[in-house]
Structure 1
Amino acid sequence: MRKPFRYLLYIMIGFLIYQVINSGETGLTHKEVKNTLVISMIVVFVLLMIVRVIKSRYDDKGEE
């Protein structure tokens, strides 16, 4: 994925999260949203690390 497309995707995801939180239709409190976002950021970080490890293993096997 090229960088400009990646940044556009990040902005779109952030905008969607903002709309869900700020819509007023959710029964979530500020503290619940904060905890949910922290947990989701940790999960995304762990998933990115797993993908990086898998990709590096795949690239190492391709060079041999």
Structure 2
Amino acid sequence: MRKSFRYVLYLMVGFLIYQVIDSGETSLSHTEVKNTLIIAMIVVFVLLLIVRVIKQRYDDRSDKDS
């Protein structure tokens, strides 16, 4: 995935979350949403770190095989 596409995807997801929170149709309070988003950000960060480690291991193995 190209970096520019990734940033557009992040922007769209952030805008969607903003619209859902600001729509007033949710039963969640702003405090609950804030806590949920903090947890979601931490989970996404950890998943990205795991994917990065797996990708580096795969790249290291392919370099050794060549």
Q: Structure 2-normalised TM-score? A: 0.92
Residue identity over aligned pairs, in percent, reads 75
User: How far apart in 1 are the matches of 2:44 and 2:3?
Assistant: 18
The one-letter code sitting in structure 2 at the alignment partner of 1:33 is V
Q: How many residues align?
A: 64
Kindly report structure 1 stretches of 4+ aligned residues shifted beyond 4 Å: none
User: How far apart in 2 are the matches of 1:19 and 1:29?
Assistant: 14
User: Over aligned residue pairs, what C-alpha RMSD do you find?
Assistant: 0.7
Equivalent residue, structure 1, for 2:46: 46
The one-letter code sitting in structure 2 at the alignment partner of 1:2 is R
Unaligned regions of 5+ residues in structure 1, if any? none
Equivalent residue, structure 2, for 1:60: 60
Equivalent residue, structure 1, for 2:32: 32
What whole-Å deviation, never above 9, does each CA across 1:1-57 have from its counterpart, x for those lacking one?
Answer: 112111111110001101111111101111101100100000000000000010000
Unaligned regions of 5+ residues in structure 2, if any? none
User: How far apart in 2 are the matches of 1:3 and 1:51?
Assistant: 16
The one-letter code sitting in structure 2 at the alignment partner of 1:21 is I
The one-letter code sitting in structure 2 at the alignment partner of 1:44 is V
Equivalent residue, structure 1, for 2:22: 22
